[in-house]
Amino acid sequence: MPTHRRSWLGLAAATILAACSESTSPPLPDSQGLNSDLQTVSAVFQTDVFKSFGAIGTAPGSPAATTTPPGALLRATSPLAPSSANQPYAATPQRLQALRVAASGMTAATTGVIPPAVWGKTYVWDVATHQYVVGPDPGPANGVRIILYQVDAFGQVIEPPVQVGHVDLLDESDANTSKLHVIVQDASPSPVTYADYTISATVVGSPVSEFTGTASGYVSDGTRTVTFSASFHATQLDTLAPDLQLDVTWDLDNPPVSVTLHVTITTSDADHATIAINLSVTRGGATVALSGTVTIGPGTVTADLTITVPEGTFARITGTNEGITIRHPNGSDLFHPAEHLMGG
């Protein structure tokens, strides 16, 4: 799938924020507050504990590495909320690939997510081998505990390791559905829960051709809480042209902000795809939305996106990789994005 897709989707998100400084009609409702609240939603996911949790997929020796069934499922259903940059829909192609990896490790006859060999164990960081190893303490009876440590900007455990918390991955699968319960807590004497959510998934076919999943629960920074609910449906996973539908809602408690995302990727072959997007942010009773399509072909990208506010259309984003325009309904330019497309 073409890599320049990310640049165009990131540009679309950046357009909303660039518009915050424009004096236009109709105006964005409290544009500075909108930007600030989006950053607040995203910041809930930026605690040291949650960053360390996000690093277990690439840590050597981790029982939740992205190459394992639980690690692949964690990555594919990540609850990360949108920020003021190019998340979350710019990463949709990467999420689709993660779903393919997760689905490949599952079977239609559910046998669980976490290998029984690691049940009841706790994994700790070993400075001698620079990787996770089984520690002396027991873990949860139906899953595994991974101790979390401070990580650097690249997600690598900093040595000597400093514990910041732990994650319990509990296998709650039944005869029909794979279920992974995720609980992230800090290392304080009375542990604070920073995340508590459950992933459910089923697959069809052998090899797997279809994946259906959900993820719901909450993430907290100890003060604010983002409750989220996500659903995933991927088909044709056994071909070079898989399709994906993703629906997510994030609700911040303070200040009250709701973000909803609907994305579909439809591919006709390995080189052609259409991404349909509907991203909306509601705060103070007002909703700003971005919707439309980005079509990808060999060497070509075509965008047709619209930003709407309560009073109507705010701007249209149209064009191809040969040239794109972002204009108000009256035809005046809103933003000159050419420099953002370089190196796409």
Cα 145 to Cα 19: distance, rounded to the nearest angstrom: 45
Per residue of the chain (344 residues), give pLDDT as tens.
444 443 444 444 445 444 444 444 465 556 666 677 778 888 899 999 999 999 999 999 999 998 888 998 898 888 876 653 334 444 566 677 777 878 877 766 566 899 999 999 999 999 999 999 999 999 999 999 999 999 999 999 999 999 999 999 999 998 888 999 999 999 999 999 999 999 999 988 888 899 999 999 999 999 999 999 999 999 999 888 899 999 999 999 998 999 898 999 998 888 888 989 898 888 888 888 889 998 888 888 888 989 888 888 888 888 887 887 888 788 877 654 444 433 33
The β-bridge partners of 132 are 125
Report residue 120 as tokens.
């009841």
Contacts of 170 (CB under 8 A, 6+ apart): 140, 142, 143, 180, 181, 182, 183
Residue 198's nearest CA partner among 217, 184, 178, 218 is 217
179 alpha-carbon distance from chain centroid: 19
Which H or E element spans position 102? helix 92-104
* pLDDT at residue number 20: 45
Reduced to 3 states, what is the DSSP secondary structure of residue 175?
Answer: coil
* pLDDT at residue number 338: 41
Using the 8-state DSSP alphabet, how is residue 217 labeled? E
Helix H, strand E, coil C: the string for 1-65 is CCCCHHHHHHHHHHHHHHHHHCCCCCCCCCHHHHHHHHHHHHHCCCCHHHHHHHCCCCCCCCCCC
Contact 184, 193 (CB under 8 A): yes
Cα 2 to Cα 104: distance, rounded to the nearest angstrom: 22
Cα 151 to Cα 162: distance, rounded to the nearest angstrom: 9
Interstrand relation of 272-283 and 243-252 (parallel, antiparallel or unpaired): unpaired
Contacts of 303 (CB under 8 A, 6+ apart): 8, 12, 292, 293, 294, 295, 317, 318, 319, 320, 324
Using the 8-state DSSP alphabet, how is residue 117 labeled? G
Handedness of CA 197, 201, 207, 209 (dihedral sign): negative
Residue 187's nearest CA partner among 75, 66, 60, 47 is 47
Report residue 78 as tokens.
């990540």
* 32 to 37, 38, 306, 344: CA distances (angstroms): 9, 10, 20, 28
Residue 344's nearest CA partner among 306, 305, 307, 296 is 296
| 138: Cα within 13 Å, side-chain hemisphere | 4
Contacts of 57 (CB under 8 A, 6+ apart): 64, 65, 66, 71, 74, 75
The β-bridge partners of 294 are 275, 303
* pLDDT at residue number 342: 30
* 86 to 7, 9, 17, 237: CA distances (angstroms): 8, 7, 11, 26
